[in-house]
Amino acid sequence: MKLEFTAMMLFLCVLLPAVHAGGGPDIDPERVARAYLDARKAGLSFPEVFGNGEQHSDALLYEVQRKLVELQLDEGLTIGGYKGGFIPKASIGGVLFAEGVLKGRPILKRTDFQNLLVEAEIAFQFCAAIKLPVADVAALKALTCNVYPAIELPDAAVRNLDGLLRDLPQLRRALIPTNMAVANVLLGEGKNPNSLDLDHLTIRATHNDVEIGNRDGSTSNDDIWSRVLWIVNEFVLARGYELSAEHIIIPGALTGLHQSTPGHYKVDYGALGEVEFRIEP
């Protein structure tokens, strides 16, 4: 393990000056994507290539993300869905992997992650593949067969996360190329969305029975269906990905971003159901 760590650090020391030399145009997307994947495998933070104050185009950031996804698909992972964040003010998207989708009441080990986070989400699943842009929210609702209470468990292995959380443009530039820190998504029981007012569900997240996050449905101004519509049209289809009936979409956190610590987690979505899991040291 020590040898692997040393080799990884030497690799990153060679990589980073190369990608920074001359600014953005000299960055090799595939090389950066490989560095991200190697860092993940070695249990290290992602090398700081983009979240460092420099300006880079969305086209470049998403090209790195695409290369990273392709490398993981080449290694045997399969696409399980898509995710969005900061919609609509600074919208970004990422790719979920089927191997990271969990069900039941799993027990996760904190040491298996670099920086495990907990986010309350709602997951959407469609009745059939979607191949053409969806006209509007009404059409999107007609295409949706199931919604799930869900918890996203990203591994935010970016450096200086606390600082990035105070600087949305830099956070955005760090998350797009690293595929939004995708790791796991835990799904509860699916329900037909027709009888649910998803924009006004009261959602309560607890850790060891102590509240850590709350969304008051009576005062919520969420437009969660519009978020899903953006992911379908502007991320999935616009970027050439396929959207099948097996895929899920999660459009963003609903009770905030929660740092993980060992213990029992539960998110109560009211009429949508509950999801719970444990984290061990």
Mean pLDDT of 65-81: 98
What DSSP assignment string belongs to 84-113? EESTTTT-EEEEEEGGGEEESS-EEEGGG-
- Report helix, strand and coil shares of the chain as percent, to nearest 5: 35, 30, 35
41 found inside a domain: no
Q: Would you say 190 and 157 are in contact if contact means Cβ atoms under 8 Å apart?
A: no
pLDDT at 7 exceeding the cut of 50: no
Mean pLDDT of 16-28: 52
Mean pLDDT of 204-224: 96
pLDDT at 76 exceeding the cut of 50: yes
50 found inside a domain: no
CA angle 191, 215, 116 (to 5 degrees): 85
pLDDT tens figures, 166-192: 999 999 999 999 999 999 999 999 999
Measured in Å, how far apart are the chain's first and last C-alpha atoms? 20
Q: Residue 140: which H helix or E strand, with range?
A: helix 137-143
pLDDT at 216 exceeding the cut of 60: yes
Mean pLDDT of 85-93: 97
pLDDT at 159 exceeding the cut of 70: yes
| Residue keyed to tokens 């820190």 | 181
> Containing domain of residue 236, as a range?
78-280
Number of domains, the chain: 1
pLDDT tens figures, 233-279: 999 999 999 999 999 999 999 999 999 999 999 999 999 999 999 99
Inter-CA distances, 234 with 78, 133, 154, Å: 21, 9, 22
255 found inside a domain: yes
**Could you give the percent of the chain with pLDDT greater than 90?**
84
CB proximity list for 64: less than 8 A, separation 6 or greater? 27, 29, 32, 33, 36, 50, 176, 177
253 found inside a domain: yes
Q: Would you say 251 and 124 are in contact if contact means Cβ atoms under 8 Å apart?
A: yes
pLDDT at 55 exceeding the cut of 50: yes
51 pLDDT band, cuts 50/70/90, is: low
pLDDT at 72 exceeding the cut of 70: yes
231 found inside a domain: yes
Give the CATH number for residue 93.
3.90.850.10
19 pLDDT band, cuts 50/70/90, is: very low
pLDDT at 8 exceeding the cut of 70: no
85 found inside a domain: yes
